[in-house]
């Protein structure tokens, strides 16, 4: 169950206690169920992934929302499991991985800001192009950049395989071989493929920021830390969820 897929409390209780849904109403009437510390009375009440639910003093659900920033190193897979290579999950302290997923992958050879969470609604919010959350990358190229790149990135490029045209992207030339690229979407190998149109190979790709959040410069490659309340607020996390951390 995620935040967006709320479920009715009576359905949840009937499943947890293995009783009929009709038998939940008397439990509510006798004030035996608490949701987030309040006596639940309404049979129509809904709960989400992070609702704290207690029956007769026994906790039925208590998931803590988790939000982690990592400095992803080169040579590690953005996946929760991999048969061949170390994954970003392997870099977390034991006991920290529980149910975390990646909010916007980086390629094996890319580095930089990576976000991990157990909050599916938040990761979808960050990755939905319509929400206009810019992901900014520093890109080092094999061949010199020209002004033509700026126009081509801004106009969008057609990707035949997905049958789409990329959203307008912003490219800033920093030096002859270095650009900063800002995207609102994350297609497979998107930046490499966009430079590929110019037969220009990406030598290094580093994610600098996601929306208002920049990679913490004190994190060495492979290190991670929990996001602060302020950082989460800037990235669209509602107070109702922040209060549960
Ligand atoms: N675009 C790419 O090609 N690779 C990444 O890791 C991120 C964006």
Domains, the chain, ranges and CATH?
A: 7-61 (3.10.290.10), 66-131+220-245 (3.30.70.580), 134-210 (3.30.70.1560)
The whole-number pLDDT of residue 217 equals: 97
Distance 72 CA to ligand 1 centre (A): 13
Cβ atoms of residues 139 and 179 within 8 Å? yes
The whole-number pLDDT of residue 236 equals: 84
Atom of ligand 1 nearest to the CA of 202: 3
Q: What percent of the chain has pLDDT over 90?
A: 85
Q: Which two tokens stand for residue 53?
A: 């639910």
* 107 is known as an active-site residue: yes
Atom of ligand 1 nearest to the CA of 106: 6
Distance 191 CA to ligand 1 centre (A): 5
The residue written with tokens 């290094």 in the block is 204
The whole-number pLDDT of residue 192 equals: 98
Distances (CA, A) of 50 to 1, 5, 39, 143, 241: 9, 11, 17, 49, 7
The residue written with tokens 């499943």 in the block is 15
Q: How confident is the model over 78-95, as a mean pLDDT? A: 93
Q: How confident is the model over 131-153, as a mean pLDDT? A: 97
Average predicted confidence (pLDDT) for the chain: 93
Distance 176 CA to ligand 1 centre (A): 20
**Partners of 102 in the beta sheet?**
116
Distance 217 CA to ligand 1 centre (A): 20
Q: Is 192 in the pocket of ligand 1 (CB under 6 A)?
A: yes
Nearest protein Cα to ligand 1, atom 2: 189
The whole-number pLDDT of residue 3 equals: 52
The whole-number pLDDT of residue 245 equals: 75
Q: Is 107 in the pocket of ligand 1 (CB under 6 A)?
A: yes
Element (H, E) at 101: strand 101-102
Most confident segment among 35-49, 116-130, 131-145, 226-240: 131-145
Q: Which residue among 137, 141, 207 has the greatest number of ligand 1 atoms within 8 angstroms of its CB, and so is best to mutate?
A: 137
Q: Label residue 202 by pLDDT band (50, 70, 90).
A: very high
pLDDT digits (tens, 9 = 90+) for 151-171: 999 999 999 999 999 999 999
Distance 206 CA to ligand 1 centre (A): 9
Nearest protein Cα to ligand 1, atom 7: 106
The whole-number pLDDT of residue 45 equals: 94
Q: Label residue 239 by pLDDT band (50, 70, 90).
A: confident
Least confident of 18-22, 41-45, 212-216, 234-238: 234-238
The whole-number pLDDT of residue 130 equals: 93
pLDDT digits (tens, 9 = 90+) for 34-84: 999 999 999 899 998 889 999 999 999 988 899 999 999 999 999 999 999
Does residue 181 or residue 44 have the better pLDDT? 181
* Backbone dihedral angles phi then psi of residue 65, each to the nearest 5 degrees: -65, 140
Atom of ligand 1 nearest to the CA of 183: 8
pLDDT higher than 70, residue 225: yes
Q: Which member of 82, 90, 107, 216 is catalytic?
A: 107
Q: Label residue 4 by pLDDT band (50, 70, 90).
A: low
Q: Is 189 in the pocket of ligand 1 (CB under 6 A)?
A: yes
């Amino acid at each position: 169950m995620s935040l967006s897929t709320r479920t009715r409390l009576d359905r949840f209780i009937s499943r947890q206690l293995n009783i009929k849904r009709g038998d939940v109403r008397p439990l509510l009437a006798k004030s035996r169920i608490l949701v987030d510390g309040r006596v639940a009375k309404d049979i129509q009440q809904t709960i989400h992934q992070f609702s704290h639910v207690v029956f007769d003093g026994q906790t039925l659900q208590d998931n803590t929302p988790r939000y982690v920033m990592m400095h992803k190193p080169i040579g590690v897979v953005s996946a929760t499991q991999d048969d061949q290579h170390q994954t970003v999950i392997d870099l977390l302290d034991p006991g920290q991985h529980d149910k975390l997923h990646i909010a916007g992958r980086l390629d094996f050879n890319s580095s930089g800001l990576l976000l991990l969470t157990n909050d599916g609604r938040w990761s979808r919010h960050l990755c939905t192009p319509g929400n206009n959350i810019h992901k900014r990358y520093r890109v080092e190229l094999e061949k010199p950049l020209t002004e033509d790149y700026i126009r081509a990135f801004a106009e969008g490029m057609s990707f035949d395989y997905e049958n789409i045209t990329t959203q307008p992207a912003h490219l800033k030339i920093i030096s002859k071989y270095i650009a900063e690229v800002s995207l609102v979407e994350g297609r497979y190998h998107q930046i490499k493929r966009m430079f590929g149109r110019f037969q220009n190979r990406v030598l290094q790709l580093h994610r600098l920021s996601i929306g208002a959040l920049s990679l913490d410069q004190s994190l060495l490659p492979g290190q991670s830390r929990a996001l602060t309340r302020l950082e989460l607020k800037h990235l669209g996390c509602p107070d109702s969820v922040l209060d549960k951390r």
